[in-house]
Amino acid sequence: ERDTGPGGIYDLLEEMGHRPLAWDETVGSRMPTPAETARLHLAKGVPLLRIVRTSTSPDGTVVEVNDTRMSADDFEVGYSVTRHSSAQLPA
C-alpha cells in the first residue's frame, strides 16, 4: 500500500507479530553509477549518499531492507543518540 496508515510499516510489522523490531543502519557515500546519475538527475561529480536499514524481528528474521540513495550535496543524515538506561555514571 502507498499509505500504510498511522504508525507506518513498522507498526504494521509489529502488529503482524514481529515485535519488538530492531534496526541496523549503515550510511555511506560513493560516486554513483551512470544509471544512478541518470535516475536521480545528479550533476556531474556529485557523490551519492546511501542509507541501508535492515529491520529484524526478535528471532533475527529480516522483515525489511530499506536501501535509500540520494544526492550527497542535497541531503544530510542526523541522529539523536541516547545512553541506555543501564549505563552507570562514575561515582
Q: Give tens-digit pLDDT for 43-78.
A: 999 999 999 999 999 999 999 999 999 999 999 999
Q: Give tens-digit pLDDT for 71-80.
A: 999 999 998 8
Element spanning 36, H or E: helix 34-40
Residue 62's region, left for phi above 0, alpha for psi from -120 to 50, else beta, is beta
Task: Share the mean pLDDT of the chain.
Answer: 89
What is the DSSP-derived secondary structure letter of residue 13?
H
- Selected residue with higher pLDDT from 13 and 61: 61
